[in-house]
């Protein structure tokens, strides 16, 4: 006996209303006992088993149907779906192939086979089947969405966006009701939002996630996705608000706590992030990433023993967790347990032989132990893995500096600066320059180092760098634009009595006229580093008014001091305002 027309649709409608599944199964079991040759109760019971995710039982029922009716394409298709849910892709694809052989014009069979291939990671065959489904039925929005999923997995995000957009267009045009349209659109919008975010079009991504939230305010994955988009954009407060909503909708949603912890972490709120990672671990005890992240918070707070405890816990859950070993080694390196740090980095390399960070960090540990040959070998290995890895060049420069190979050290720090204008690299290149008596180069590098620290609001380090530049200029009796700029920056943080001493020097000496060329170059540097042209124009005007007071003087030291002290006075208030 075949399945009555519309029977399967009716049972699906009943299932959507969440009936008593055990009662339904019992009902169809009785029908099977009464009519063991009738395929309909087997198919209906299998549909219930699929709904409650009892896939082995569904497979048994579909198999019995096929014994009774070997040419029923729908039974092959449905059994293929059950095999796919169990991850038995070969059996699943075999069943779909048979369904297609029996009914080659059924677009759904091609679509379902494509989905199984997609889940199995076979994206090109999946694309072919999705395309065939669309040739049979060009209005099949879900197959466009499937192609979008494939392109997304293949990292072809523009094509993915194109397919998701077409799917949305079809869903909008051919849905019978607004509810049907919105139901179809939600998952596609989320996927398109992800694709937009991968192309760094975070505005459109945000629009898609917000649209889903408007359709269904209780959809947690939409709030979470928008929160992640805010996180990607550095909008930490907005991200936190969206993750708060995830937690409000489901207080047991460990991802909500985990993501909110990340938002706090990236906003440098390390202590505030710890309770969220702790709650994540409470809800999901084997969440190694949450344990690692909590350890990272402790590390940033300088609580090294707590950080090490969390890294050890993460490793106890997963002995092959590379990042836990790597971070463990970094903390051991910080507290000068170099041999233990080397063991951690050895483990990382054992697990991931191309981990540049492990080689670079192990290089630092060997350098600290004065094992320079091994340190150089590791730094060089890191560079071979990634020729653009700034830290490894910095490491080699540091090693050469200790080996008194100053020209090599200078070259390595130059390469590090070329790749990333790190203030530390400028500082150490200056040290290498001093060792080679290249004082003007050293003055310039310390000044550049100071400004990079300054722009990262690391004022103490900036002042140390400026002081080194100024002291070197003073000791070597040099006048350089960069050194004068460093002196200027020192005086921006001077106290009032020190400023008054500047006026005293001006009153005691007649000063030579400032050389126009030096003044122009100096003001160009001010323009470059202070990034506010209005300050420069005002300074030019005020300096012009001071020129009449500057008289000839053959005392180079007096002229030099007057030069940077005058500019220090002129710019002091403006710079202090800028720092505020």
pLDDT at site 491 = 54
Sign of CA dihedral 95, 98, 103, 105: positive
Q: What is the pLDDT of residue 482?
A: 74
Q: What tokens does 498 get?
A: 């020190």
- The whole-angstrom separation of Cα 446 and Cα 436 is 15
Residue 16 — φ and ψ, nearest 5°?
-60, -25
506 closest CA partner among 474, 539, 547, 550: 550
**How far apart are alpha carbons 447 and 62 in whole angstroms?**
77
The average confidence (pLDDT) of the chain is 84
- Taking every pair of Cα atoms in the chain, the longest distance, rounded to a whole number of angstroms, is 120
3-state secondary structure of 482: helix
- What residues contact 577, with CB distance under 8 A and at least 6 apart? none
- Residue 176 is classified by DSSP as S
Percent of the chain clearing pLDDT 90 (strictly above): 69
The residue ranking higher by pLDDT, 566 or 193, is 193
List the single range of 96-105, 357-366, 382-391, 511-520 with lowest mean pLDDT. 511-520
CB atoms within 10 A of CB 255: 21
Give the residue among 120, 106, 183 at the shortest CA–CA distance from 149. Answer: 120
User: Residues 191-212: what's their mean pLDDT?
Assistant: 95
pLDDT, residue 471, reads 86
**Tokens 């960069």 sit on residue:** 482
Tokens 């130059």 map to which residue?
A: 414
Per-residue pLDDT tens digits for 425-457: 999 999 999 999 999 999 999 988 988 887 776
Is residue 34's pLDDT more than 80? yes
How large is the average pLDDT for residues 87-92? 95
Task: Pull the structure tokens for residue 447.
Answer: 């000044």
Mean pLDDT of 268-274: 96
Q: Torsions phi, psi of 103, nearest 5?
A: -145, 80
CA–CA gap between residue 491 and residue 570 (Å, rounded): 10
The pLDDT of residue 454 is: 73
Given a cut of 80, whether residue 502 has pLDDT beyond it is no
**φ, ψ for residue 369 (rounded to 5)?**
-85, 5
Q: Report how far residue 528's alpha carbon sits from residue 352's, in angstroms, rounded to the nearest whole number.
A: 44
**What element of type H or E holds 354?**
none
For residue 559, the number of C-alpha atoms closer than 13 Å in the C-beta half-sphere is 18
Q: Is the pLDDT at 390 greater than 60, yes or no?
A: yes
User: For 52-102, where are the alpha helices, taking DSSP H only?
Assistant: 55-68, 73-85, 89-102
CA of 301: how far to CAs of 135, 323, 501, in Å?
Answer: 59, 19, 41
Task: Check whether 245 has a pLDDT greater than 70.
Answer: yes
Residue 218's pLDDT is: 94
For residue 2, is pLDDT > 50? Answer: no
- Residues 218-235 as b/e (b if ≥16 CB within 10 A, e otherwise) read ebbbbbbbbbbbbbbbeb
Token pair 């080699």 is at which residue? 396
| Residue located via tokens 């005002």 | 538
pLDDT of residue 570: 45
| Token pair recorded at residue 175 | 């849905």
Summary count for the chain: helices (H), strands (E): 32, 0
For residues 456 and 462, give the distance between their C-alpha atoms in angstroms, rounded to a whole number.
9
Task: Count the Cβ atoms, other than its own, within 10 Å of residue 577.
Answer: 10
pLDDT at 552: 44
Residues 6+ apart with CB under 8 A from 113: 80, 93, 96, 97, 100, 129
Question: What's the CA gap between 214 and 70, in Å, rounded?
Answer: 47
Instruction: Identify the residue whose tokens are 């002042």.
Output: 463
pLDDT at 459: 76
pLDDT, position 476: 83
Q: Looking at residue 386, what is its pLDDT?
A: 96
Whole-number Å distance between alpha carbons of 180 and 166: 17
Task: Give the SS3 label for residue 8.
Answer: helix
pLDDT level of residue 12 (50, 70, 90 thresholds): low
Supply the pTM of this predicted model: 0.73
Q: How confident is the model at residue 321 (pLDDT cuts 50, 70, 90)?
A: very high
Q: How far apart are CA 324 and CA 303, in angstroms?
A: 16
Q: Which residues contact 389 (CB under 8 A, 6 or more apart)?
A: 356, 360, 382, 383, 419
Integer Rg of the chain from CA: 35
| pLDDT level of residue 527 (50, 70, 90 thresholds) | very low
pLDDT > 70 fraction of the chain, expressed in percent and rounded: 79
């Amino acid at each position: 006996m075949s399945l009555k027309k519309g029977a399967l649709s009716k049972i699906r409608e009943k299932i959507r209303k969440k009936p008593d599944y055990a009662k339904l199964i019992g009902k169809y079991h009785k029908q099977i006992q009464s009519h063991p040759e009738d395929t309909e109760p087997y198919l209906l019971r299998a549909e219930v088993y699929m709904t409650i995710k009892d896939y082995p039982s569904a497979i048994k029922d579909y198999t019995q149907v096929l014994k009774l009716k070997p040419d029923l394409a729908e039974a092959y298709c449905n059994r293929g779906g059950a095999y796919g849910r169990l991850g038995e892709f070969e059996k699943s694809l075999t069943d779909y192939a048979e369904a297609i052989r029996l009914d080659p014009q059924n677009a759904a069979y091609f679509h379902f086979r494509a989905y199984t291939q997609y889940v199995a990671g076979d994206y090109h065959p999946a694309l072919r089947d999705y395309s065939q489904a669309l040739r049979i039925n060009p209005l099949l929005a879900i197959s466009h969405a499937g192609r979008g999923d494939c392109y997304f997995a293949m990292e072809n995000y523009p094509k993915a966006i194109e397919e998701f957009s077409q799917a949305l267009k079809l869903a909008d045009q051919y849905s019978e009701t607004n509810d049907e349209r919105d139901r179809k659109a939600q998952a596609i919008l989320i996927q398109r939002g992800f694709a937009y975010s991968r192309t760094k079009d975070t505005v459109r991504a945000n629009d898609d996630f917000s649209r889903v939230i408007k359709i269904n305010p209780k959809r947690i994955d939409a709030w979470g996705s928008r929160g992640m988009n805010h996180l990607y954009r550095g909008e930490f407060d907005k991200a936190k608000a969206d993750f708060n909503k995830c937690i409000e909708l489901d207080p047991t949603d460990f991802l909500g706590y985990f993501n909110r912890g990340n938002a706090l972490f990236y906003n440098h709120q390390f202590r505030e992030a710890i309770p969220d990672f702790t709650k994540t671990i409470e809800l999901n005890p084997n969440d190694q990433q949450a344990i690692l992240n909590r350890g990272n918070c402790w590390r940033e707070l300088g609580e090294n023993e707590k950080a090490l405890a969390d890294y050890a816990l993460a490793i106890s859950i997963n002995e092959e967790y590379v990042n836990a070993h790597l971070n463990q080694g970094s903390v051991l390196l910080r507290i000068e347990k170099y041999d233990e740090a080397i063991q951690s980095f050895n483990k990382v390399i054992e697990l991931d032989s191309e981990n540049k960070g492990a080689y670079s960090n192990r290089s630092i540990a060997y350098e600290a132990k004065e094992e320079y040959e091994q340190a150089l070998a590791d730094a060089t290995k890191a560079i071979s893995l990634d020729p653009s890895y700034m830290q490894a060049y910095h490491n080699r420069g540091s090693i050469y500096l200790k080996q008194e190979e100053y020209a090599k050290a200078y070259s390595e720090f130059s390469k590090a600066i070329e790749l990333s204008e790190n203030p530390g690299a400028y500082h150490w290149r200056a040290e290498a320059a001093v060792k080679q008596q290249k004082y003007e180069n050293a003055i310039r590098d310390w000044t550049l180092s100071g400004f990079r620290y300054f722009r990262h609001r690391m004022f103490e380090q900036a002042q140390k760098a400026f002081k080194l530049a100024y002291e070197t200029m003073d000791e070597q009796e040099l006048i350089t634009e960069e050194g004068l700029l460093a002196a200027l920056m020192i005086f921006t943080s001077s106290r009032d009595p020190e400023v008054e001493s500047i006026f005293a020097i001006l009153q005691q000496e007649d000063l030579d006229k400032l050389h126009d060329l030096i003044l122009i170059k100096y003001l160009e540097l001010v323009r470059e580093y202070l990034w506010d042209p209005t300050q420069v124009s005002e300074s030019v005007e005020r300096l012009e008014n001071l020129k009449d007071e500057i008289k000839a003087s053959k005392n180079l030291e007096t002229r030099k001091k007057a030069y940077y002290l005058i500019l220090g006075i002129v710019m002091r208030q403006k710079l202090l305002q800028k720092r505020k």
